[in-house]
Amino acid sequence: MDFPKDFMWGVATSSYQIEGAVHADGRGESIWDRFTHTPGAIKDGSTGDVACDHYHRYREDVALMQSLGVKAYRFSVAWPRILPQGTGEVNQAGLDFYSRLVDALLEAGITPFVTLYHWDLPQALEDRGGWNNRDTAEAFAAYADVMTRRLGDRARYWMTHNEPWCTAFLGYDMGIFAPGIKDLKVTLQVSHHLLLSHGLAVPAMRANLGDGAAVGIAPNFMPVYPATDAPEDRAAARRLDGLFNRWFADPLFGKGYPQDTWDLYGENVPDVQPGDIETLAAPVDFLGVNYYNPGTVADAPDAPPPHLRDVSDPDLERTADRIIYPEGLYDILVQLHRDYNPPALYITENGAAFHDEPGEDSRVHDAGRIAFLEAHFAQAARALKAGVPLKGYFVWTLMDNFEWAAGYTLRYGITWVDFETQRRIPKDSALWYRDFIRKHS
């Protein structure tokens, strides 16, 4: 596998999944605080109240990353720590936490990559309609301004949103993520406001960051394959590609909403005001790609619109929760490069959940995760060779954490966490990654 010496090998996390300390230092309530305390919302009835207690243990976690030799760390900021009411008064203590974190990273020789929104919306904004309210897009831009003003001198890589598809569809259509709403019309308006908020934030961020910084976004993408070569199945795959990938990527890269998908949504399409399409296509310096699994579909005329049937290969290997298909990473990288030609791409998330436990030797022998990462790294190298300007790779995730609706039942970390004692044990995959980085840097 050939990677450039300056390739950014990193790990990623997000605020609500690791920080805990939900009442510390003036942090406001987030929609995930409210949602996790709603009976039945989370598989194991757990919450992120404590999670990995990273808010208090960030120095230990930075030292852990340093010991693994990672070059970069992608973390997200909890908006309610900065603006407890979503807008208005800034909570200095919240800002100071992230400022200390950035300093600790830089001291450890680790480059910070900051994500502004990884799903923990201030509850105060949700009470006013959340992402369905256009004002939330403006509020986001103001929050992005606060953050880049304060940290922009030291943190030079920024992302607006993590996985806007999940924010919109899991939170407002399927209702399995906060805020737990099930309404397609609202979902599509939310998705538009998310993109709009990105477009409003980017110029404000650039103004604060000046030259030499990089601003991007990290959607989740899914390569979609037809069940057969039949024209109907190929059209079905194209529909799903539109619903999942192009609905977000086309407007972000100046193509407007894809007409075929717009038509599919019929009366549920969002209200798009004059100028929005131009605003949300603010040029980015890089595109983040979160990749986990592919989709394979057949045409299903008898099923409700969009007439799709999931026919994912039952023989493909699986992690604890997903199909394993490393070639999909290559395919989606090539597709995004071909269709949008972003100046640079980063894999901002890729990783696997397995049911890991320490053995009698107190080590965690996660050979499945090592095989997973190695196979995916090989596909990244293949994409580089094919001309994709890939600049870095963030393994999801540094340590086991609160996995949203699955609570603590899925372990995605390369570090095992004992949630009773907060003891961290680097799994074999972490040590393998350390050696891999050493060899390729």
Binding site for ligand IFM (CB under 6 A): 14, 17, 163, 290, 349, 396, 403, 412
Q: Based on CB atoms, which residue is closest to ligand IFM, 131 or 257?
A: 131
Residue 159 Cβ vs ligand IFM, minimum distance, rounded to whole Å? 12
163 is catalytic: yes
Please check whether residue 401 is in contact with residue 411, taking contact to mean a CB–CB distance below 8 angstroms. Answer: no
Residue 226 Cβ vs ligand IFM, minimum distance, rounded to whole Å? 25
CA distances from 352 to 103, 228, 332, 336, 368 (A): 30, 28, 18, 22, 9
Burial of 309 (0-12, 13-18, 19+ CB in 10 A): middle
Q: Based on CB atoms, which residue is closest to ligand IFM, 14 or 189?
A: 14
Residue 75 Cβ vs ligand IFM, minimum distance, rounded to whole Å? 12
Half-sphere exposure of 356 (CA within 13 A, CB side): 30
Q: Based on CB atoms, which residue is closest to ligand IFM, 163 or 366?
A: 163
349 is catalytic: yes
Distance from C-alpha of 195 to C-alpha of 200, rounded to nearest angstrom: 9
Distance from C-alpha of 356 to C-alpha of 294, rounded to nearest angstrom: 24
Residue of 163, 357, 360, 420 marked active site: 163
Q: Based on CB atoms, which residue is closest to ligand IFM, 299 or 349?
A: 349
Q: Based on CB atoms, which residue is closest to ligand IFM, 14 or 136?
A: 14
Give one word for 249, left, alpha or beta, with left for phi > 0 and alpha for psi -120 to 50.
alpha
Strand pairing partners for 11? 73, 395
The token duo for 317 is 């290997």
Please check whether residue 161 is in contact with residue 104, taking contact to mean a CB–CB distance below 8 angstroms. Answer: no
Q: Based on CB atoms, which residue is closest to ligand IFM, 195 or 399?
A: 399
Residue 413 Cβ vs ligand IFM, minimum distance, rounded to whole Å? 10
Q: How far apart are the first and last CA of the chain?
A: 12
Distance from C-alpha of 271 to C-alpha of 43, rounded to nearest angstrom: 35
The token duo for 371 is 């095989």
Residue 77 Cβ vs ligand IFM, minimum distance, rounded to whole Å? 14
Residue 53 Cβ vs ligand IFM, minimum distance, rounded to whole Å? 18
The position carrying tokens 């605020």 is 15
Nearest to 412 by CA among 278, 281, 319: 319
Residue of 19, 126, 349, 403 marked active site: 349
Residues carrying an active site annotation: 163, 349
